[in-house]
Amino acid sequence: MTPNKTDTTIDEIHKVRCEISERFDGDVFAIAADAARRQAASDRPVWNPTTASGADLLKGSSDIKSPLPDAAG
């Protein structure tokens, strides 16, 4: 069986994850701190929700309108 594009992409993701883990000796806190540092240095915008969770979206109390039809009809 010849690997398809998805298989090779997933293999590459696993390889990179292993390399990152090895670089930080598996310390997830160090990995997260490094990611936060790199994000801050990138000057790219980051979406910050106005609520503590996405629960408001599930309740329908958001101003964002769903593209899906209303279940009520």
| pLDDT tens digits, 44-59 | 888 877 765 655 555 6
The answer to whether 57 touches 64, Cβ cutoff 8 Å, is yes
- The mean pLDDT value for 25-35 works out to 96
Candidates 25, 30, 20, 28; CA nearest to 12 is: 20
Q: Residue 24 in contact with residue 34, Cβ under 8 Å? A: yes
Residue 19 has pLDDT above 70, yes or no: yes
CA 25 to CA 53: how far, in whole Å? 31
